[in-house]
Every structure is written in C-alpha cells, then in structure tokens.
Amino acid sequence: MRVRTRPATAFRDKDGCRLVVPVALGSRFGLSGKERIMVRFGRLQDLVSVALTSEDAHAWLEVPGGRSSPIPAGQELVLGLGGEGELRLGPLMGVITTHAAGRPPVTATLGPQNASLRGLALAGRRLGAVVQVFGPEGVNWRRHAVTGYVLRPGGATWRLARLPFPDVVYNRIPTRSAERRPQARLVCRRLQAVLGRRFFNPGFLDKWQVYRLLGRQPDTARYVPITVPYRGWRVAQMLKRHPAVYLKPPGGSLGLGIIRVDRTDGRFRIRQQRRPGRIRSLAARDPAGLRRLLRSLVGRRRYLLQQGVDLATFEGRSFDVRALAQKDGRGQWTVTGMAARVARRGGIATHVPNGGTREPVPRVLREGFGPEEARRILVELEQVARTVAAAVETGCGRALGELSLDLAVDRRGRVWVLEANAKPFRFDEDAIRERAWARLVLYGRHLIGFQPLLDDGEEASRQPDGGAAPW
C-alpha cells in the first residue's frame, strides 16, 4: 500500500501521526477508522490513529511539520509487513559517508559522491523507501536517532533531518584513510554491533586477504593468478615462468601505483602508472639491476606480486571486464551489469582515467573469439562473478550487499579474477547505475523481511528486482 506523507494542518504532539485511508482500502484491510495501530518506521515504533475517507483515492499519513518530525513529509512510502509480522513504513535506509559533515541545512550537493547518493535516494523514493545520508557525527546513540540528509520533494536539493535509527545501513565511507579515522571506526563498530548483517559492506577489503581466501577454495582457485607478497628476489623468479608480472599496492585504486615488468630477450622493461594517464618507463639489463630499480620505486611500501595474464585484445588493445555483483531482493547474488574496459595503446591499466575506453562486453568478445565462443565466455563471466562474490563474503566473514570485480579473459578464452572491491566506483553506463540503485534498496527490504501490502491497483511488477542485465 502506497502512503503519502504530508504535514498535518493542525498537529498536536499528543495526537501522534494519523493514517487516512480510502474507505475501499480500509474495508479490504479490515480497518474501521476507529482503531490505533502500531507502525514502525526505522527503529521508531508508535501507535498511529486511523481514519477513513471517501474523498480521496489514496492513503496518506499526517505527520508533524518541521525538522523535528520523525517521518519526513512530502514522501510516498510503502506500508508493509516486517519479518515478525509488524506493520512497517519505508523501509528507512541509512547511508554512512564522510562527505555529509559541515554542510548547510539545505544543500545542492553532498560532495564527490553526490550523483550516486542522489541516484540511490531517488531509487528509494520510487520504491517507497526513505534514504538518509549521514556522517559518523550524525548518530545520537542516546536518543536512538540520526541527523543526516534526505532529498527534498523536488529531488534537486538535500535537507537536514533528524530521523529514527534506520532499519539498515549501507557503508559508503569513500576512502581507506577516512574509514580509519577514530570516530568513523568507533561508529562503524557500534553500527555492526547493533544491526548485525543489516550493516552491510562494513569496510574495504584487503587484496592479499582476498587472493588468499579465493586461492584456498576449490570453486575459485582456478580463476586466480599466482599472487604472493612482493619480495625483490621473487620478481626475476616469477619472470622465468611468466613473460610479465604486476606489482600492485594492496590498498590501491584506479590502477595508480601499479608496476608492470616484462621480460624480453633477457632484459627487463618496467612501467609504472604514476598518475592518471601518466606512465614512467625504465629498463634493466639483469636481475640485479631490476631489483635496484624496483627498490627505488616501491621503497618500504607493501606490494603484491602477481602473474601477468596475457589479456585478449580489442582492436589491438588489451581489455578486461568490470562486473558488478549485488544481492537482489531475495538475498541472492546476481550480476547487475558488466562492461569492458579497453586500455590505451601501450597502457598497463585499463581504467578510464588512465586513458582506457568503455565497450560493451559482447562486442569485444565477438571480435576476439567469434559469436559462439563469445556466448560461452559471457555465461562463464557471469557465473564466475556470482561464485567469487559469494566466496569473498563467506571467506571474509562480512555482510556484503555488493562487490565490483575486475575479471579478465586471456587470448585462449580462459577467465581470470584480478580484483574484488567492496566499495565499487559508479558505473558510467546508465542502465547499470539505475539497476544497481534499485537493487540496493530491494536488498535493504530483504534484510528486514519487508513485504509490501499491495492494494487492488498495485501489481507485483511495481516491486522490481532491478530488471534484466544489459549485455
């Protein structure tokens, strides 16, 4: 049942909220218009008086006006049943980040993540949920409330609002350094203690931990390139078995800091991705010279050493595949979208900021392998993404709702897993973005066992799973 919220014309605190329901709907759900029913919104549970109306075809909820209202006005929420059979509105989904601090009560932007946060909030609105974006400083544990930003009715700006403690919280703290700040660490630990698995994607993944756990599981080990902690002496040894190796910082992103070493005619070519679009090239004549150069590049920083995969090519340029795996409204891992990233000529990383370009996955596979083999590889890529996502969640012991995966296809058509990331960057493809936002909200519903009450005018199709994959 869709319920529109609006400020009460003459609201008195002792009256609480009032649910006004068309007579036909009231009859269907057994409401007389004289009762008071218990309704939950987030962690707030309160009695709501019921009234029937013959003047409106839609249900609405009268709420207190102003910022102090526990339920924001100007929303269209869904009334449904929770996992224990209680009536619920929403649900209320919190998103924790560090970009919401220090902004005015009404603002047009929440910083670098604004487009993604706004897209998620709009998806929540379409599905009858409320999405609130907040920082670690916004949690009031004593009052069981959170102060953060919700989209205003027009959808163009955000306003500050204090709402009840949310049903679920999605962690979008953007960087490892921000996540390590004392206040952020403390709040995330307490959220996990209070919410359990309803606080999902609780932190960044360590690449070495991911490689180790995938390498130990029979279902995933064959997809992982040989990966070990970097030691200077290991590079030349691995290059005896593989023509190229990669050195990767375990906390890196966007390909920055990656070093590729190629062995050609007994000599070594070293290339490092220093800044977006900027590659430094060096050469060494022997293993001793190679170790000296790598020591100057790596210093005392932690790196991983990984077997180079002989990537398939598209128009003469190597490519890999970025896949987004998410839990759906049933809590099952599914692939929301995939996109090929094609490196620039001479590049060592496929990321778009480093000069890479985006292409549809079927197109790049058909060019390299033909239609029939391309279909087989496409099916395997999707299957591997689901399997790896489930394995990472189980192996790390964390509640995850989504993962982005860097997959590769070598020249023989073999699929590899290069990386897994618990804080996916936003996809550039509109269809994938829209589907991803919807699935996050639907997964939030699943976590609290939310089942919408449908009236005669609502179809099950109004509760989508995000739609079919676009590739």
The pair of three-digit structure tokens given for residue 309, joined into one six-digit string: 């995969």
Burial pattern 281-291, b for ≥16 Cβ within 10 A else e, equals ebebeebeebb
Provide CATH 3.30.470.20 ranges for the chain: 205-223+310-422
- What's the pLDDT at 11? 42
Provide CATH 3.40.50 ranges for the chain: 92-202+435-443
The CATH code belonging to domain 2-88+455-462 is: 2.40.40
Q: At 384, which amino acid appears? A: V
Q: Is 38 exposed, middle or buried (0-12, 13-18, 19+ CB in 10 A)?
A: exposed
Residues in Cβ contact with 468 at an 8 Å cutoff, skipping those fewer than 6 apart: none
Give percent of the chain above pLDDT 90. Answer: 65
Other Cβ atoms within 10 Å of 346 Cβ, number: 10
Asked if the model's pLDDT at residue 459 lies above 50, the reply is no
Q: Does residue 221 sit in helix, strand or coil?
A: helix
CA 338 → CA 220, 335, 470, distances in Å? 19, 8, 8
The topology (CATH level 3) of 226-308 is Dna Ligase; domain 1 (3.30.1490)
- DSSP 8-state secondary structure symbol assigned to residue 371: H
Q: By the 8 A CB rule, do 49 and 61 touch? A: no
Asked if the model's pLDDT at residue 359 lies above 50, the reply is yes
pLDDT in tens, 258-276: 899 999 888 999 998 876 6
Give percent of the chain above pLDDT 70. Answer: 91
Q: At 411, which amino acid appears? A: R
Q: By the 8 A CB rule, do 305 and 241 touch? A: no
The arrangement of secondary structure in 92-202+435-443, i.e. its CATH architecture, is 3-Layer(aba) Sandwich (3.40)
Which superfamily, per CATH, for 205-223+310-422? ATP-grasp fold, B domain (3.30.470.20)
Burial pattern 39-74, b for ≥16 Cβ within 10 A else e, equals bbbbbbeeebbbebbeeeebbbbbbbeeeebbbbbb
With bands split at pLDDT 50, 70 and 90, how would you rate the model's confidence at 357? confident
With bands split at pLDDT 50, 70 and 90, how would you rate the model's confidence at 85? confident
pLDDT in tens, 143-184: 999 999 999 988 999 999 999 999 999 999 999 999 999 999
The pair of three-digit structure tokens given for residue 80, joined into one six-digit string: 């449904």
Separation between Cα atoms, residue 131 and residue 139, nearest integer Å: 15
Four-CA torsion 285, 287, 290, 291, nearest 10 degrees = -150
Separation between Cα atoms, residue 101 and residue 252, nearest integer Å: 25
pTM for this prediction: 0.90
